Structure 1
Amino acid sequence: MKHDHSPVLPGPGATDYARYMQTDALLGLQRSPGEVIHRDELLFQVVHQSTELWLKLAAAELAEATARVVAGQLPMAEALLVRATLAVRLITDGLEMLRYLSPVDFRAMQPALGKGSGAESPGWRQVQATSRQLGHAFGEQLDTRGVPAADLCPADLSDPLHRLAEAMVEWDERVSLWRVRHYQVALRIGGHPPAGSPGSPANMLAKLAGHRFFPELWQARLHSTADE
């Protein structure tokens, strides 16, 4: 008996997998061999395009987590935030691919990049916005429950509020580690002078590495240490 494997979904593509995943469009987003000025453009584009996809997912999870916090559904918000954090861990690991891009090769392909900069990433901007929204919603929950942020450390992990605070600190830390890794990659392949050098593009990257979305939760840790 022959099985019919013909696609049933609408759209372009020879299979339902191709149609649902839109692989024809996805795999056509990279510059073709006839367009590239250096073969490592494919490596560079795949790393950054996959980063944008993971950031899109992270921002969506953060937005839903925020809605759950507003609704008082803290365990679900925590679970969503854990997923967003894993996405950031994956893009941090993805930067390891750029270890195989030499400064000489990067300079050779730079004309193809124009004036493009990672600071222009739409995924990163969305993550910034949704992180701020999550922090605001969490702050309103603290006010409603009459819990000072300083009381969240040491954390009572049997309390959903404290567990969510820990997940938010983990998110902050993973984003910071991604920024630090990005900074190191910029030094390694970009040939930028280190932070502190006048006019170095690395100055902004180094500055951002110390940024925190939820500084009050980190401050709570300082208070806890001081009280011991």
Structure 2
Amino acid sequence: MSYAKPPVLQGTAKSDYENYVRTDELLSLQKGPDEWEHRDELLFAVVHQSSELWLKLATSEVIETIAQLKGNNLREAHRLLSRAVLCILQTHSALDMLEKMSPWDYQQVRRALGHGSGFDSPGFNGLRKAVPQLGKEFHRLLGEEKLSLLDLFLNDRKYEDLYQLAEWLLELDERIGLWRQRHFKVVERSIGMKVQGTQGTPVEILAKLNFFSFFPELWDIRTEITNYALSEE
């Protein structure tokens, strides 16, 4: 006996789940076995396609966070940033799958990639463009309270919502940075060092990006607090 209700959503699939998620289209986006250079093309495509979706969602959450900050809705901004952070964490775990390809198997997959490169990721590039706006709104809010960053961190309980915003920004920055580092190690494990990527870019360029931060002032304030504490002794 079937308890399934007939679909009511627009579409040709046999269930509303398939119509809403558009599974026919989604699952047709990967090459089939007859098209593969190597069977791990499916693994490679699924990892990158799913990561693009998580990065798209992360960017959407960041953009909405910016809108909430413009309206001074800090609690809602915290919630949205927590979701953006979780999106980035999903991309971390996806990278683990790439290490399940041997270096030689990856070389077979690589033949099918053309000049495709992670530098061209729409998801990450969208996120990279959106995140700096968070810093601008944070500093606007800081200015409205007539606070320096040190003042905020020394009076974190008094300005709890603004302090928590600073911590969520740092969390997002850290998770993106850890994703960059993880990605670099996956690349190194797959193709080594002192070689070029699919666009002819030296792998060492990725290593340099590991030191990039969207909010360096939120890292530097830790040193400033330590020095301040030592001066008070």
Q: TM-score range by the shorter chain?
A: over 0.9
Deviates more, 1:133-142 or 1:173-182: 133-142
Structure 2 residue identity aligned to 1:136:
K
Aligned residues of 1:157 and 1:163 also touching (Cα < 8 A):
no
Change (3 A) 1:132 1:108: same
Q: Which residue of 2 aligns with 1:69?
A: 69
Shift of 1:157: 5.0
Structure 2 Cα separation of the partners of residues 51 and 38 of structure 1: 21
Q: Which residue of 2 aligns with 1:167?
A: 168
Aligned residues of 2:56 and 2:123 also touching (Cα < 8 A):
yes
Q: Which residue of 2 aligns with 1:213?
A: 214
Structure 1 Cα separation of the partners of residues 109 and 86 of structure 2: 31
Shift of 1:168: 0.6
Structure 1 position 182 matched with structure 2 position 183: yes
Once the two structures are aligned, what percentage of the paired residues are identical?
A: 44
Superposed counterparts of 1:134-145, under 5 Å: 134-145=134-145
Aligned residues of 2:64 and 2:80 also touching (Cα < 8 A):
yes
Structure 1 residue identity aligned to 2:215:
F
Runs of 4+ in 1 over 6 A off after TM superposition: none
- SS of match in other structure, 1:34: helix
Structure 1 position 34 matched with structure 2 position 31: no
Structure 1 Cα separation of the partners of residues 157 and 34 of structure 2: 56
Aligned residues of 1:70 and 1:141 also touching (Cα < 8 A):
no
For residues 61-117 of structure 1, the C-alpha deviation after alignment (integer angstroms, 9 at most, x for no partner) is 000111111110111101100110011111111111111111101111211000010
Structure 1 Cα separation of the partners of residues 28 and 155 of structure 2: 48
Structure 1 position 110 matched with structure 2 position 113: no
Structure 2 Cα separation of the partners of residues 157 and 117 of structure 1: 45
Change (3 A) 1:28 1:221: same
- SS of match in other structure, 1:100: coil
Aligned pair count reads: 225
Structure 1 Cα separation of the partners of residues 75 and 8 of structure 2: 39
Structure 1 Cα separation of the partners of residues 219 and 3 of structure 2: 59
Superposed counterparts of 1:1-228, under 5 Å: 3=3, 5-154=5-154, 156-157=156-157, 159-193=160-194, 201-228=202-229
Structure 1 residue identity aligned to 2:33:
P
Gaps of 5+ in 1: none
Structure 1 residue identity aligned to 2:184:
Y
For residues 187-210 of structure 1, the C-alpha deviation after alignment (integer angstroms, 9 at most, x for no partner) is 00123338xxxx872222111111
Structure 1 residue identity aligned to 2:15:
T
Structure 1 residue identity aligned to 2:225:
S
- SS of match in other structure, 2:45: helix
Structure 2 Cα separation of the partners of residues 130 and 84 of structure 1: 12
Aligned residues of 1:44 and 1:98 also touching (Cα < 8 A):
yes
Structure 2 Cα separation of the partners of residues 153 and 225 of structure 1: 11
Change (3 A) 1:171 1:2: closer
Structure 1 Cα separation of the partners of residues 201 and 125 of structure 2: 22
- SS of match in other structure, 1:112: coil
